[in-house]
Amino acid sequence: MARAVAVTGLYRNLPKAARDAFHDYLALNFLPESFRLKAAAEAYLAAPSAKTANELAVASASPRRELIRRLNIAPGATAVLVRMREYLLKDMRQRPQWMPLEQDLRDLFASWFNRGFLELRRIDWNTSAAILEKVIAYEAVHEIRGWDDLRRRLAVDRRCFAFFHPALPEEPLIFVEVALCRGLASSIEPLLRVGSPSDDIGKADTAIFYSISNCQPGLRGISFGNFLIKQVVEELRAELPGLKQFATLSPVPGFRGWLTKYLVGDNILPEKERDAIRMAADQAALGTHNPPAISLADAATKRVLLQLLATYLTDPNDGAGPQDSVARFHLGNGARLERLHWAANCSHRGIAESLGMMVNYLYEPSMIESNHEKFESLGKVAYSPDIADLLKNGPRDRSVTAPVKRFVRSRGLFQQSLPIVASAPPANAKQAIP
Amino acid sequence: MARAVAVTGLYRNLPKAARDAFHDYLALNFLPESFRLKAAAEAYLAAPSAKTANELAVASASPRRELIRRLNIAPGATAVLVRMREYLLKDMRQRPQWMPLEQDLRDLFASWFNRGFLELRRIDWNTSAAILEKVIAYEAVHEIRGWDDLRRRLAVDRRCFAFFHPALPEEPLIFVEVALCRGLASSIEPLLRVGSPSDDIGKADTAIFYSISNCQPGLRGISFGNFLIKQVVEELRAELPGLKQFATLSPVPGFRGWLTKYLVGDNILPEKERDAIRMAADQAALGTHNPPAISLADAATKRVLLQLLATYLTDPNDGAGPQDSVARFHLGNGARLERLHWAANCSHRGIAESLGMMVNYLYEPSMIESNHEKFESLGKVAYSPDIADLLKNGPRDRSVTAPVKRFVRSRGLFQQSLPIVASAPPANAKQAIP
Amino acid sequence: MARAVAVTGLYRNLPKAARDAFHDYLALNFLPESFRLKAAAEAYLAAPSAKTANELAVASASPRRELIRRLNIAPGATAVLVRMREYLLKDMRQRPQWMPLEQDLRDLFASWFNRGFLELRRIDWNTSAAILEKVIAYEAVHEIRGWDDLRRRLAVDRRCFAFFHPALPEEPLIFVEVALCRGLASSIEPLLRVGSPSDDIGKADTAIFYSISNCQPGLRGISFGNFLIKQVVEELRAELPGLKQFATLSPVPGFRGWLTKYLVGDNILPEKERDAIRMAADQAALGTHNPPAISLADAATKRVLLQLLATYLTDPNDGAGPQDSVARFHLGNGARLERLHWAANCSHRGIAESLGMMVNYLYEPSMIESNHEKFESLGKVAYSPDIADLLKNGPRDRSVTAPVKRFVRSRGLFQQSLPIVASAPPANAKQAIP
Amino acid sequence: MARAVAVTGLYRNLPKAARDAFHDYLALNFLPESFRLKAAAEAYLAAPSAKTANELAVASASPRRELIRRLNIAPGATAVLVRMREYLLKDMRQRPQWMPLEQDLRDLFASWFNRGFLELRRIDWNTSAAILEKVIAYEAVHEIRGWDDLRRRLAVDRRCFAFFHPALPEEPLIFVEVALCRGLASSIEPLLRVGSPSDDIGKADTAIFYSISNCQPGLRGISFGNFLIKQVVEELRAELPGLKQFATLSPVPGFRGWLTKYLVGDNILPEKERDAIRMAADQAALGTHNPPAISLADAATKRVLLQLLATYLTDPNDGAGPQDSVARFHLGNGARLERLHWAANCSHRGIAESLGMMVNYLYEPSMIESNHEKFESLGKVAYSPDIADLLKNGPRDRSVTAPVKRFVRSRGLFQQSLPIVASAPPANAKQAIP
């Protein structure tokens, strides 16, 4: 115990070089006993069976894992170990030798942070300032600009829930923000506006999940997001029987990048323009976003862009499913692609990611199971009749995208927003789902 | 989630045959992918390294473990899984094929029930009846005979502490009972007497740990007993600065068995008598215990028996240390063998186990570390000058044990108490430490 | 503060004589300033008005009350003051000079123990042993015989609720026990039987309040019983929407006494027999109760006794309402007299109080208000058609009671049970409602 | 209960005119029964005794009080009643007929908010935002400018404690802010500076109470401030045994007003100047404060002003004690006037109130009792040798104040700061002690 306290205390304050050396030390030592492991490997190869496989698993288990468990005895050690994995993940490309250590941590975390041990807590104005402050810091989708902004998001017509682990009692692991309203929300701005009056939740029929944020980079890949949404749906149903619909209002972070390639790859673009776009992507010039550009788009352009978005979000990709990370998260959870919205997020980031468009994914309890299975096994995306309609009339012939290119180029949309994508990722503590 | 709920719900009510079949199913399936495992085994054998060892560990990990983690999502599932391991352990001799399943559970439990996740709680009269009732049921050393008996053990001059896990909030995992008194307690009866007045704890200088019980057979081998004692020492020191000494009053469950062999092996016993003793051991006749027999022992006999006990408890056994399970537990924790007491537990069980003798193990914080290391590496037992004195004058010449044999035989001690040892172990839910 | 601690500490351990002297001291001193009080009295008499009345109230307020408030600052002082009033009430007849002190305490308690400050808590097997032990001690209607009995009363088909005050966190002030069943319970024995299996509460349509006990004699006259029942009705409705009926199964503590007088007063009794009954009442001989006597009653006797009971419980007494204390409590709360049960409580006490009969009072939310008002203003008792029927055919001609007398005399019911009524009231800590 | 809910619900939303009418109604009705009261008054006048005095008190008690107790049954009613008294106090001058109602509320509050029922809670960053927000709003001495300011005041080298009542669980009644430092703090600015690093509390030997705020105007005159300070002293001693000194850093809100009169009353001032100062006092012109003016004061002026301050704060006023409200509060609690500080609060308000000077009052446990008694009975102020020294050499001859007048006039201190005093009192919710 005393040693666990000493080691974790030291580690907390180690300068980077020493820390890296410590990682090396942990990763390269604490190997399983080679004599015994060789024997087990040979026995398995000679006669593969449940028994020899199990004996091989036992013989190959690294004593490092037991070491980590013992470190975890020290008060506060779990937080230190989560931080350790965060460091490892950040530099793993340069330090592939850390893999065994990272994998041991990941495996332990998968056990420790098992959903069965997590506690769902409502976050509201009665929550401690210490935790609320972290919600402000960890919000990764729509930045919270101070306490007034936060307060609006915790008002009577909003809900916020987080998962906590008993060993990290003041650290949310993931949280979701929900707006209670009538019908599917079609734009993010009204939901976030500070000072807007609260709606009468007695009349609300829809819960809109408008932001989900993972809080701990060191827990990357240990998934609880899907459990969170489903359990919050249950909580809300119990509290507000008037709610009939549970859906997200989600960004499409990958659309603009995909569109760029799509347009570029399209050979009708002359080389000169392609070069211009590439250059733009490299520029670091920061422009302010320009909502009028979006609102000025003519109906045809708007239609084509929505069709392209539908195409992007439903592309089966030979069974792998669409590439957009947010889409994969919700579709993988069994949600259905429900509706696309034009000019739904005209913030700088909204324009940069998806030309201001946003998406509703619908969580319809009776369909979740089958949606999930079709998606997982075949990459098949469930979508609503609205989307079907868009797709049916969508740009099969790529020439139809010409007006889009003209619009995009004329408004300088790429130029003004690409630098954001090229710039640094959001602060380490923040990870938008997934 | 729905499936996890269904499976754990079903399992709870499965009849034994179906349950065994389910265990077989889990143990014999869910093997790692053989193609990949073979490749990893060969790669390791060809070039053993941190990297190939790690890859072999990953390839040999059974998908069963992930399955168990998913089952654990269901509410109450952790308790079901602990119960499953209890079933496995009970029948493992007859069903060695369950080993892989048992080992996966054990490995997961070692992570889940890591000391870092356990909560120390004081048990007292403000504890819920639901938990107190379990303390009554789980006590494994000195049976608790109803609520009045319990109440005395939770009076102002007593303490009781238990470890709990957040996923089993109403289930103590292990608990310890402590008496606060002046000097080392030399007899268990006064500590347990219902209705005895409480001592003034302002005058107490010694905390006596007189009972430790593991509560969950399904967690066998996942050790927290050593942490419990050490943390309780810290709690008590903080609460009562007047405490100067922390020690146990412990049984010696193996002494009578060892003594039998010792005496039998001793060739001065004529064959006829040896046979008589063997027969006695096989008899099932239940006698009531006979405290006067012990109190009638003459000083020489008493002295020799204490010397033999000291010998038993300090025997290095070629580096393995003494065989007594309770001794191994405390000595392994770094305690010191402090004092032996004659006629300290004249209950039927006390006579049967150790002819009524009991032992103090002293937890002296400054020596714990070095005691522990000498014991672990060399089997060397730390003991007090009192014990050293006993040993110095102990029965080197085995003939000196003749009076003991006479005493033992004339009092019929073996005959009356052996059946207990030969009889069934205590009820499954109860495990005296270790 | 220091003085408050000292005084309340001293008081706790004062022998009776000194305590009485202290009561005298408090009661006879701390008078309002006489000069000012006289002036205010004269001013009021000269010109009575809201203003002079208020000034008189202010001038007559005793500084004793402020003294008591200051004593209450000490930790645990509230319990001491409640105990003080208990002592005062016990000896007030002999010590009428204590009245001012008792009245100040009562007035303060009426403020302190205002319903708005009480907390309703469910009592169940998760409640601390310290509180459960008090429930056992305080039960005043149907004695709780140990922990097994208690456990049955807290099983899944039972509920128990108590009011607590923040300054007495471990002291229930009043508690009620409820059984969940189908239809109105007609006998107490099945509800109390230890070891009886729990009913399926999914099928329960009726909540039977079968015991209410005040716990603090020092709070006599500070009423919370009516709030308790009504709030528990709300709690149960919220938890179990299947419940359609809320009623009591109540004793009739005053019936046997009334019956005695009724029969004696009835001039058809010859003098000799009247004397015999009076003598019986003076006897101290304790008989065991005799259930068969009750069960042997012929139908006519049974009918007449039920009719007499209905008469007793509905007698308007010239606007004052029936005399039975339990009846007054429930009828005053707005309940309706619903049904009478023969052989419903054949315990010694049940026979002694009401020849084994019990009563259901029905709490029908929609009628509570009007029932309550008719009772309070006119002494008019609300009753069901069943009761109306009994009354219509009841013993107008007193000669009809002759069979009852014969039955009562022949079974020796008076003789065996009167001593109980003549004997001491139940232990001080226990007060059946009211 | 239903009516209590209805009435308190209505009252909450009553417009002012209706509310005033309701107050009239409550105050002028609900008189004690006049027949009985007259009889009791006459009986008392005829024969004054403990008994007749008590009977008069009972007869004069207004049924209004019972009415208020019944209103208090409704959830949230206590808050409504506290608010009612706030309204009454605000307009009592214009509505003296409300006195009986106000007095009944005050008397009930004195019982309800008895110190014995209050809970001391630490306020820190783990406190809920809902409560912290109220701390920001209620701070009455040194305004809290937002969450960053608050956070500094709750950092590791600060403490904040509040009293709460169980019926107002989210409403602090009074709170105190404490800085842990070395030696007596001599200036407020360093304590409040946002972003200043935290001190090492291991080295702190002094706790400085730098702000106490009453939160509920409706509880005016129900005192808990003295209990708060003394209990916080106990808490801090238990937590930090290194603390040796407990003192305030307090404003002197009345000094400037007193000084004005002192200087004006002093006949050496020619009439013309006196008029100028009076005029200044009437002006509403707002100047910004001018710290350099204070810092430019020459040593002689500074000395004289400190001497005048000492005179002001120790003036026995013929046994009534000094007039300054803050001084009366701390001296009445038994504190000692310890030290005066020049340029200790150069904020606008600090200059306006006391020309920037502040004061330490020392809470020395061993002297509190005797200080308190001398102050209460004789108006005698306890002070340190430092203060004694100032007083000894103070301005006996009033001509010595001439330099002060010159300084004050030349710096325009009166002109710039008087308007503040002439302006509205701080917002209703805030009341600096007392």
User: How far from A257 is each of A253, A277, A312, CA to CA, in Å?
Assistant: 8, 11, 11
Any chain B CB within 8 A of the CB of C25?
no
The residue to which tokens 């890949």 are assigned = A221
A359-373, C385-399, D371-385: segment of lowest average pLDDT: C385-399
Mark yes or no for CB contact A147/D129 under 8 Å.
yes
Q: Which DSSP state fits D96?
A: G
By percentage, how much of chain A surpasses pLDDT 90? Answer: 57
pLDDT tens digit sequence for D90-136: 999 999 999 999 999 999 999 999 988 999 999 999 999 999 999 99
Q: Is the pLDDT of residue D216 over 70?
A: yes
Q: What does the block give as tokens for C25?
A: 């001291």
Q: Determine the pLDDT at residue B410.
A: 67
Mark yes or no for CB contact D129/A127 under 8 Å.
yes
B142-146, C414-418, D225-229: segment of lowest average pLDDT: C414-418
**Kind of pairing between the strands at C245-248 and C206-214:** parallel
Q: Determine the pLDDT at residue A103.
A: 93
A198-202, B211-215, B273-277, C181-185: segment of lowest average pLDDT: B273-277
Q: Determine the pLDDT at residue A282.
A: 37
Q: Is the pLDDT of residue B287 over 60?
A: no
Q: Is the pLDDT of residue C294 over 70?
A: no
C21 or C414, greater pLDDT: C21
By percentage, how much of chain B surpasses pLDDT 90? Answer: 57
Nearest to B7 by CA among B61, B77, B106, B65: B77
D399 classed as catalytic? no
Any chain B CB within 8 A of the CB of C149?
no
How far apart (Å, rounded) are the C-alpha atoms in residues C323 and B264? 84
> Does the ipTM exceed 0.85?
no
Q: Compare CB distances from D129 to A125, A146, A170 and report the shortest one's residue.
A: A125
Task: Give the three-class secondary structure for C319.
Answer: helix
Chain D hits for C114, CB-CB cut-off 8 Å, are 69, 72-73, 112
* D neighbours by CB contacts (3+ pairs under 8 Å): A, C
Reported as half-sphere exposure (CB side, CA atoms, 13 A), residue B271 has a value of 0
Do C and A have ≥3 inter-chain CB pairs under 8 A? no
Q: Determine the pLDDT at residue D271.
A: 56
Q: What is the mean pLDDT of residues A361-383?
A: 91
Paired with A352 in beta bridges are none
Q: Determine the pLDDT at residue C154.
A: 96
Nearest 5°: the CA angle A118, A119, A121 is 145
Catalytic residue among D23, D289, D330, D341: D330
Mark yes or no for CB contact B116/A42 under 8 Å.
no
**Overall residue count recorded for chain D in this entry:** 434
Cα pseudo-dihedral D125, D129, D134, D140, rounded to 10: 30
Mark yes or no for CB contact B103/A54 under 8 Å.
yes
Q: What is the mean pLDDT of residues B306-316?
A: 90
pLDDT tens digit sequence for A295-321: 666 777 788 889 889 999 998 888 888
**Kind of pairing between the strands at B119-122 and B336-341:** unpaired
Chain D hits for A170, CB-CB cut-off 8 Å, are 126
A119-128, A205-214, C113-122, C195-204: segment of lowest average pLDDT: C195-204
Any chain B CB within 8 A of the CB of A56?
yes
Q: Determine the pLDDT at residue C23.
A: 95
For the annotated catalytic residues of B, the residue numbers are: 250, 330
* B neighbours by CB contacts (3+ pairs under 8 Å): A, C
Mark yes or no for CB contact C126/B126 under 8 Å.
no
Any chain C CB within 8 A of the CB of B323?
no
Q: What is the mean pLDDT of residues D264-288?
A: 44
Q: Is the pLDDT of residue D290 over 50?
A: no
How far apart (Å, rounded) are the C-alpha atoms in residues C289 and C413? 8
User: How far from C308 is each of B177, C345, C405, C414, CA to CA, in Å?
Assistant: 60, 17, 12, 16
Q: Is the pLDDT of residue A379 over 80?
A: yes
**Residue A434: which pLDDT band, with cuts at 50, 70 and 90?**
very low
Q: What is the mean pLDDT of residues C244-262?
A: 89
Q: Compare CB distances from B28 to A34, A50, A78 and report the shortest one's residue.
A: A50
Q: Determine the pLDDT at residue A331.
A: 94
**Residue C395: which pLDDT band, with cuts at 50, 70 and 90?**
low
Q: Is the pLDDT of residue C277 over 70?
A: no
Q: What is the mean pLDDT of residues B140-164?
A: 94
Q: Which DSSP state fits C155?
A: S
Q: Determine the pLDDT at residue D304.
A: 82
C244 or B432, greater pLDDT: C244
Q: Determine the pLDDT at residue A280.
A: 39
Q: Determine the pLDDT at residue C257.
A: 83
Three-class DSSP labels, C50-90: HHHHHHHHHHHCCHHHHHHHHHCCCCCHHHHHHHHHHHHHH
Q: What is the mean pLDDT of residues C73-86?
A: 93
Q: A423-432, D3-12, D329-338: which has the highest mean pLDDT? A: D329-338
Q: How far is the alpha carbon of C334 from chain B, nearest alpha carbon, in Å? A: 36
Mark yes or no for CB contact A73/B41 under 8 Å.
no
Q: Is the pLDDT of residue D297 over 90?
A: no
Q: What is the mean pLDDT of residues A134-146?
A: 93
A286-290, B14-18, B290-294, B389-393: segment of lowest average pLDDT: A286-290
A409-418, B37-46, B303-312: segment of lowest average pLDDT: A409-418
Q: Determine the pLDDT at residue D142.
A: 93
Paired with D120 in beta bridges are D163
Any chain A CB within 8 A of the CB of D34?
no
Contact indicator for B124, A125 with CB cutoff of 8 Å: no
Q: Compare CB distances from A57 to B60, B117, B167 and report the shortest one's residue.
A: B60
Contact indicator for D310, D387 with CB cutoff of 8 Å: yes
**Residue D272: which pLDDT band, with cuts at 50, 70 and 90?**
low
Q: Is the pLDDT of residue B277 over 50?
A: no
Three-class DSSP labels, chain B: CHHHHHHHHHHHCCCHHHHHHHHHHHHHCCCCCHHHHHHHHHHHHHCCCHHHHHHHHHHHCCHHHHHHHHHCCCCCHHHHHHHHHHHHHHHCCCCHHHHHHHHHHHHHHHHHCCHHHCEEEECCCCCEHHHHHHHHHHCCCCCCCCHHHHHHHCCCCEEEEEEEECCECCCCCEEEEEEEECCCCCCCHHHHCCCCCCCCHHHCCEEEEEEEEECCHHHCCCCCHHHHHHHHHHHHHHHCCCCCEEEECECCCCHHHHHHHHHHHCCCCCHHHHHHHHHHHHCCCCCCCCHHHHHCCCHHHHHHHHHHHHHHHHCCHHHCCCCCHHHHHHHHCCCEEEEEECCCCCCHHHHHHHCCCEEEEECCHHHHHHHHHHHHHHCCCCECHHHHHHHHCCCCCHHHHHHHHHHHHHCCHHHHHHHHHHCCCCCCCCEECC
Paired with B132 in beta bridges are none
How far apart (Å, rounded) are the C-alpha atoms in residues C159 and C58? 46
Nearest 5°: the CA angle C346, C249, C345 is 0
Q: Compare CB distances from A129 to D129, D146, D170 and report the shortest one's residue.
A: D129
Chain B hits for A53, CB-CB cut-off 8 Å, are 31-32, 34, 37, 60, 62, 100
Q: Judged by CB atoms within 8 Å, which residues 91-110 of A form the interface with B?
A: 97, 99-100, 103, 107-108, 110
Mark yes or no for CB contact C128/B126 under 8 Å.
yes
Q: Which DSSP state fits A188?
A: S
Q: Compare CB distances from C129 to B129, B146, B170 and report the shortest one's residue.
A: B129
**Residue C411: which pLDDT band, with cuts at 50, 70 and 90?**
low
DSSP class per residue in A9-74: HHHHT--HHHHHHHHHHHHHS-PPPHHHHHHHHHHHHHS--HHHHHHHHHHH--HHHHHHHHHTTS
Q: Determine the pLDDT at residue A401.
A: 64
pLDDT tens digit sequence for D299-331: 777 888 898 899 999 988 888 888 899 999 999
B261 or B111, greater pLDDT: B111
Cα pseudo-dihedral D183, D188, D192, D197, rounded to 10: -30
Q: What is the mean pLDDT of residues D19-38?
A: 93
Nearest chain A residue to D151 by CA distance is: A129
Q: How far is the alpha carbon of D26 from chain C, nearest alpha carbon, in Å? A: 11
Q: Judged by CB atoms within 8 Å, which residues 119-148 of A form the interface with B?
A: 119
Optimal mutation site among B25, B33, B56, B227, interface A, most CBs of chain A within 10 A: B56
A163-172, A258-267, C284-293: segment of lowest average pLDDT: C284-293
Nearest to C112 by CA among C172, C67, C68, C170: C68
The residue to which tokens 């065996």 are assigned = C416
A348 or A335, greater pLDDT: A335
Q: Determine the pLDDT at residue D412.
A: 63
Any chain D CB within 8 A of the CB of C32?
yes
Any chain A CB within 8 A of the CB of B61?
yes
Q: Determine the pLDDT at residue D276.
A: 46
Q: Determine the pLDDT at residue A198.
A: 87
Nearest chain D residue to C224 by CA distance is: D73
**Residue C262: which pLDDT band, with cuts at 50, 70 and 90?**
confident
D325 classed as catalytic? no
Any chain A CB within 8 A of the CB of B37?
yes
Which helix H or strand E contains D400, and what residues bound it? none
User: How far from D287 is each of C14, C127, D259, CA to CA, in Å?
Assistant: 67, 64, 20
Q: Is the pLDDT of residue A285 over 70?
A: no
Number of separate helices (H) and strands (E) present in chain A: 21, 8
Q: Determine the pLDDT at residue D395.
A: 64
Q: What is the mean pLDDT of residues C149-171?
A: 95
Contact indicator for D337, D331 with CB cutoff of 8 Å: yes
Q: Determine the pLDDT at residue B256.
A: 84
pLDDT tens digit sequence for C1-44: 778 888 888 999 899 999 999 999 999 989 999 999 999 999 99
Contact indicator for A308, A258 with CB cutoff of 8 Å: no
Mark yes or no for CB contact B38/A44 under 8 Å.
yes
Average pLDDT of every residue of chain B: 84
Q: Compare CB distances from D57 to C61, C73, C166 and report the shortest one's residue.
A: C61
* CB count in 10 Å sphere of residue B220: 15
* CB count in 10 Å sphere of residue C90: 13
pLDDT tens digit sequence for C207-237: 999 999 999 999 998 878 888 999 999 999 9
Mark yes or no for CB contact D125/A126 under 8 Å.
no
Q: Is the pLDDT of residue C261 over 90?
A: no
Q: What is the mean pLDDT of residues C106-133?
A: 94
Nearest to D84 by CA among D170, D26, D130, D163: D26
Q: Determine the pLDDT at residue C434.
A: 43
C351 or D274, greater pLDDT: C351
Q: What is the mean pLDDT of residues B360-383?
A: 91
Q: Determine the pLDDT at residue C315.
A: 87
Q: Which DSSP state fits C247?
A: E
pLDDT tens digit sequence for B227-242: 899 999 999 999 999 9
Contact indicator for C97, D88 with CB cutoff of 8 Å: no
Any chain D CB within 8 A of the CB of C399?
no
Q: Determine the pLDDT at residue D293.
A: 58
Q: How far is the alpha carbon of C247 from chain D, nearest alpha carbon, in Å? A: 20
Answer yes or no: pTM beyond 0.90.
Answer: no
For the annotated catalytic residues of C, the residue numbers are: 250, 330
Any chain B CB within 8 A of the CB of C311?
no
Q: Is the pLDDT of residue D228 over 80?
A: yes
Chain B hits for A103, CB-CB cut-off 8 Å, are 54, 58
Chain A hits for D132, CB-CB cut-off 8 Å, are 129
Q: What are phi and psi of B123, to 5 degrees?
A: -105, 120
Average pLDDT of every residue of chain D: 84
* CB count in 10 Å sphere of residue A307: 23
Catalytic residue among A213, A250, A354, A417: A250
Q: Compare CB distances from D73 to C42, C107, C116 and report the shortest one's residue.
A: C116
Q: What does the block give as tokens for B186?
A: 């030399």
**Residue B38: which pLDDT band, with cuts at 50, 70 and 90?**
very high
Any chain C CB within 8 A of the CB of D434?
no
Q: Compare CB distances from D103 to C54, C75, C103 and report the shortest one's residue.
A: C54
Do D and A have ≥3 inter-chain CB pairs under 8 A? yes
